[in-house]
Amino acid sequence: MDYQAILNVIEKELENFHPGGKVPDYIPELSSVSPDKFGMHLYGISGGHYCFGDSEEKFSIQSISKVFTLALAKKIGKKIWRRVDVEPSGDPFNSLTQLEKEKGIPRNPFINAGSLVVADILITHLENPKKDLLDFVRLITNDQSIEYDFAVAASEKKHGYRNIALVNYMKALGNIDNDVDEILDFYFHQCSISMSTKQLAKAFMIFANEGRILETNERVLKPNSVKRINAIMQTCGFYDEAGEFSFRVGLPGKSGVGGGIVALHPQQYSVAVWSPLLNEKGNSEKGMRALEELTTLTGLSIF
């Protein structure tokens, strides 16, 4: 069965699967998205594109952006592991308890606190961090149309009390160098990037392809950095449901509260899926099911 046939099976099987979760309600831009949206895009290492549904519709990538900022920090060669750990958190993505216990060192770069520290590092080392991040995402996607959604960024800033708390708390504990408002501005923008599953699958191909852009063969990350980022996606990519995802899907990946999930099988493919309804852990329920079917039907997980 080829990839397109497998995707067709998945689409068919999940046609009548209506998960019981909900769309996030904290900002109007996310709560107004139709819960019925569903799309999937797989990008094979041989260059093929396979898809169904709303695979070319853009949505807010939210926490998926944390992989981009981590990759950018590695690309510019910055040491980050003294300031962010690489262990799974065992706590929700925005917990302050663990930060307190561990004296301001976030457990990993994919919880909010960790990504705020990565933002701090980028701001220290880049001239135009917001522009540079966008350029990096456009580069690896080979698509100049990708943009921030300024309305989303503005809404997040208005309701981002918990992230404001996190960054100020780390500042109090000595793990933040730059101005907290500048970091928050960067962070709310990174989360607001709009991309389709097709664009996400293309962007994440660098992690399946040892750090090279498939179309151009340009190297953007060292193989060793890719191995590390994939390992962190495997153990930390799904908040406190990382084990469940690893258990059900068996691929490194990352989710966002916009309903997107990206995953990849090294040397085989990258894949993105979108369905806005979230389970109580904040991950797209239908998206997880789709990826579970994918590794079952291909018979290929990393395990």
**Known binding site: residues?**
63, 112, 156, 163, 187, 239, 257
φ, ψ dihedrals at 60, nearest 5°: -80, 120
Among 118, 92, 124, 90, CA closest to 105? 118
Exactly one of 34, 124, 145, 168 binds its own copies (CB under 8 A); which one? 168
Q: Which residues contact 268 (CB under 8 A, 6 or more apart)?
A: 44, 45, 208, 300
| 185 close to 192: Cβ distance less than 8 angstroms | no
Is residue 154 close enough to count as binding its own copies by CB under 8 A? no
Q: CA 48, 51, 52: angle at the middle one, nearest 5?
A: 165
* Shortest reach from residue 75's CB to its own copies, in Å: 18
* Shortest reach from residue 266's CB to its own copies, in Å: 6
Is residue 118 close enough to count as binding its own copies by CB under 8 A? no
Return the range that interacts with its own copies (CB under 8 A); candidates 40-48, 54-62, 95-103, 116-124.
95-103
* Shortest reach from residue 221's CB to its own copies, in Å: 12
The 8-class DSSP code of residue 64 comes to G
What is the spatial distance between Cα 134 and Cα 153, in angstroms, rounded to a whole number?
Answer: 14
Q: Which residues contact 34 (CB under 8 A, 6 or more apart)?
A: 276
Is residue 226 close enough to count as binding its own copies by CB under 8 A? yes
What is the spatial distance between Cα 247 and Cα 36, in angstroms, rounded to a whole number?
Answer: 26
What is the spatial distance between Cα 254 and Cα 260, in angstroms, rounded to a whole number?
Answer: 8
Is residue 148 close enough to count as binding its own copies by CB under 8 A? no
As given in the structure block, the two tokens for residue 269 are 């493919």
Residues 177-216 as x/- pattern, contact with its own copies by CB under 8 A = ---x------------------------------------
Rounded (10°) CA dihedral 135, 251, 273, 93: -70
Return the range that interacts with its own copies (CB under 8 A); candidates 14-22, 88-96, 185-193, 196-204.
88-96
Exactly one of 46, 97, 128, 217 binds its own copies (CB under 8 A); which one? 97
Number of residues that bind its own copies (CB under 8 A): 48
Return the range that interacts with its own copies (CB under 8 A); candidates 1-9, 38-46, 60-68, 161-169.
161-169
* Shortest reach from residue 235's CB to its own copies, in Å: 5
* Shortest reach from residue 118's CB to its own copies, in Å: 16
Burial of 277 (0-12, 13-18, 19+ CB in 10 A): buried
Q: Which residues are annotated as a binding site for substrate?
A: 63, 112, 156, 163, 187, 239, 257
Give the full edge-to-edge strand order of the sheet including 260-265.
Answer: 49-53, 39-44, 269-274, 260-265, 253-255
Is 148 or 169 the residue whose CB approaches its own copies more closely? 169
| 273 close to 197: Cβ distance less than 8 angstroms | yes
* Chain centre to alpha carbon of residue 226: 15
| 92 close to 239: Cβ distance less than 8 angstroms | yes
Return the range that interacts with its own copies (CB under 8 A); candidates 7-15, 50-58, 61-69, 241-249.
241-249
Exactly one of 11, 91, 132, 147 binds its own copies (CB under 8 A); which one? 91
Exactly one of 87, 177, 179, 182 binds its own copies (CB under 8 A); which one? 87
Is residue 103 close enough to count as binding its own copies by CB under 8 A? no
Q: Which residues bind its own copies (CB under 8 A)?
A: 85-91, 95-101, 107-108, 161-162, 164-166, 168-169, 171-172, 180, 226-228, 230-232, 234-236, 240-244, 246-247, 250, 252, 266, 301-303
